[in-house]
Amino acid sequence: MPTPHRLITTRFDASSTADDVVAGLDLAGVRAIVTGASSGIGVETARSLARTGAEVTLAVRNTSAGAKTAEDIAESTGNGKVHVSALDLVDSSSIAEFTHRWTGPLHILINNAGVIVSDLVRTSEGWELQFATNHLGHFALSLGLHEALAKGARERGEARIVSLSSTGHMRSPVVFDDIHFERREYDPQAAYSQSKTANSLFAVEATRRWAADGIVANAVNPGGVSTGLQRDFTPKQKDYLAAAEASGVFVYKTAQQGAATTLVAAVAPEFARTGGHYLDDGREAYTVGNDADLFDNSHGVKEWALDPDAAQQLWTVSLDLIGHPATRETAAS
């Protein structure tokens, strides 16, 4: 279990919006990337960053939708430095092309994109789609942008990565002996949950490896937001969500409220140069045991999502899966 410490708090809570978090900030000269920013909370994340004067790149699979979003954000914020760049997180060549196109420093990387599926889908590599998209794609992207982030940290004194997790992480650790459901029966909820635990573990290990470069990563739970992610839910998934809502596990937030905790991790001074945390409702979440009931601890984070040993193992496994050499940028210092 992580060493007990005083939890980091802020003045923000469940009702805060992304615009509340950035109010009064001047981030002119700051460069940010938001993945999956053509819909849902990604749009509001990018919009609030644009309000500060930051240069924001929408990394999206559908560039036509992204272009419309960028135009809307530019019009609503008066910031013309909103760009669109193609990125498909399950296509290694697309990730490589994106990172190759990027030039200059990067100060904020928000790994926001995600998928939920109702049936087993495999990538061309044979990977389970939710793990491949939600974790491996963002893992490869972050590795590819490491030097840009390090340059941003040298320029500004810090660079931050925000990894979007979920309360769903409480339903499954990363099952290292069968990550891709090659032997166990496929459960889409368990697969999604595993990927969300991986998102948190990434933040733990990225911080351990890259903090010396001025780069820290934190995981966030945006809370319950009705977005396109739910469109392919099975009846079982819909029933589970309804039961969670009825029991008070969560109250639906607006997209602006859902983006608030992301912005806390990205720009709030309380999280400057400190990482490996899991945030919920604008502050660091309390840790609960792995046997804790989700419905009773919906604002907590399970030990398995912060376990440094699991985080190191996940990093090693992920490097092997994507075929990335353990270079200086990825090896622990």
- Are 218 and 163 in contact by the 8 Å Cβ rule? The answer is yes
Query: Among residues 192, 240, 252, 286, which one is catalytic?
Result: 192
Cα 76 to the center of its chain, rounded Å: 25
Using DSSP bridges, classify how beta strands 159-164 and 300-302 pair: parallel, antiparallel or unpaired.
unpaired
Active site residue 186: no
- Which among 47, 51, 59 has a CA at the least distance from the CA of 27? 51
Quote the CA–CA distance of 22 and 240 in Å, as a whole number: 34
Residues 6+ apart with CB under 8 A from 12: 20, 21, 260, 261, 264, 268, 281, 282, 283
Quote the CA–CA distance of 206 and 219 in Å, as a whole number: 11
- Are 63 and 252 in contact by the 8 Å Cβ rule? The answer is no
Catalytic residue numbers, as ranges: 192
